[in-house]
Amino acid sequence: MHNRFNLKAWLLLLPALSFLIAFTHWPTLKSIWRSFTWAKSDVAPSQFVGLENYQMLLEDPVFLKVIENNFWYAIGTVPTSIALAIIMALWVNSKIGGTSLLRLAFFTPTILPMITVANIWLFFYSPHIGLFNQLLALVGIEGPNWLGDPDLALSSLMVMTIWKEAGFFMIFYLAALQTLSPELFAAARLEGAGAWRIFRKITFPLLMPTTLFVLINAILNAFKLVDHLFILTKGGPNNESNLLLYYIYETAFSFLDSYYAATLTVVMLATLAVIALVQMLLLDRKIHYR
């Protein structure tokens, strides 16, 4: 009886499990193995080289720049888009008319594919013929080269990402807000609590499960979403806007060096795993589940 139950369970899990193993566990193990080997080209037999690839990482100025960029990119986009998402959700949560149009406006960036968004923003950011600089020219200011100035390139990317992501997170917050019991707020108002106090003591703590989910998503996206780099800056100028995943793509497919790419991949996996662990452990304590 016990055996039969196990077999059935495993069989039911098999389809999902096979996908998981084929697309997640197996490639991860293969990448880790590959990062310890090297060969002159993809057709030559590979040899075990130990930590040599990892040593190359530390000597690679582009790798260090890319890690730094990703760090700032995450710091810049994650808290901002979450804050914006909460604000938009609170605004749009009321029952007055016109909010459905507002919700549509906030959510539209999410519907568009990243490549489309990037192409649109390429023309927004264009120095002479682009929207922003033409508007600035109307008031007599000469707009900068948003994507070409090494000091501005990464920040310009961040602004675009926040624009795209905030609407997506807003949906989750909106759903969570609508599950909150209105009695809590009525009670708080009766006791004379102001709006900010209500938010800090009631709304935000109750939204913690959503915040944890959104936080994980946002940080993952800060590493995963690099489609816009292909259109906007290709990591330039001079690697100022280069991100880890784009560098991995370049190494694997432009430089055709799958061994070094595997090493970079292992670094990215380790980083994301650590971040996820930290979030789970740290924030789990602060969350009130019902």
Partner 1 sequence: MKILSKYLTTVGVASILGLSTAATAATDLTMYYPVAVGGSLTKIVDGMVDKFEAQNPDINVNAIYAGNYNDARVKALAALQSGSPAQLSVMFSIDLHELRNLEAIVAFDDVVSTNEEREWLNSFYPALMENGKADGKTWGVPFQRSTIVMYYNKDMFRAAGLDPEMPPTSWEEFISMGKKLTTKDDSGTVQQWGAMIPSTGYPYWMFGALTKQNSEVLMNQEGTETYFDKPGVVEALEYWQDLGNKHAMMPKGMIEWGTLRQNFLDQKTAIMWHSTGNLTTVKNKANFDFGVAKLPGNKELGSPTGGGNFYIFKDSTDEEKKAALKFVKFMTSAEQAAHWSKSTGYMGVGPNAYETETLKAYLKTFPPAAVARDQLTHATAELSTHEAGRVRKFLDDAIQAALTGQSSAEEALTDAQKQAERILRRYK
Assess 211 for contact with partner 1 (CB under 8 A).
no
**Least distance to partner 1 from the beta carbon of 117, Å?**
15
> Residue 49 or 122: which CB sits closer to partner 1?
122
Stretch of 29-37, 76-84, 246-254, 273-281 contacting partner 1, by CB under 8 A: 246-254
Longest dimension (CA), the chain: 82
DSSP string, 250-280: IIIIIS--HHHHHHHHHHHHHHHHHHHHHHH
Cα distance between residue 139 and residue 125, in whole Å: 17
Q: Is 236 in the site for partner 1 (CB under 8 A)?
A: yes
Neighbours of 240 (CB within 10 A): 19
Q: What share of the chain is helix, strand, coil (3-state, %, to 5)?
A: 75, 0, 25
Residue 165 vs 250, nearer CB to partner 1: 250
278 strand-pairing partners:
none
How far is residue 38's CA from residue 48's CA, in Å, rounded to a whole number? 7
Residue 22 lies near partner 1 (rule: CB under 8 A): no
d(CA 220, CA 210): 15
Using CB under 8 A as the binding rule, whether residue 113 contacts partner 1 is answered as: no
| Closer CB to partner 1, 16 or 43, in the complex | 43
**Of the two residues 168 and 260, which places its CB atom closer to partner 1 in the complex?**
260
Taking CB under 8 A as the criterion, the residue among 117, 250, 259, 267 binding partner 1 is 250
203 binds partner 1 (CB under 8 A): no
Closest to partner 1 by CB, 42 or 284 = 42
State in angstroms the smallest separation of the CB of 153 from partner 1: 9
Neighbouring residues of 162: CB distance < 8 A, sequence distance ≥ 6: 77, 80, 81, 84
Count CB neighbours of 181 within 10 A. Answer: 9
**What part of residues 27-86 is at the interface with partner 1 (CB under 8 A)?**
40-43, 62
List of residues contacting partner 1 (CB under 8 A): 40-43, 62, 122-123, 126-130, 137, 140, 142, 145, 147-150, 231, 233-234, 236-239, 250, 253-257
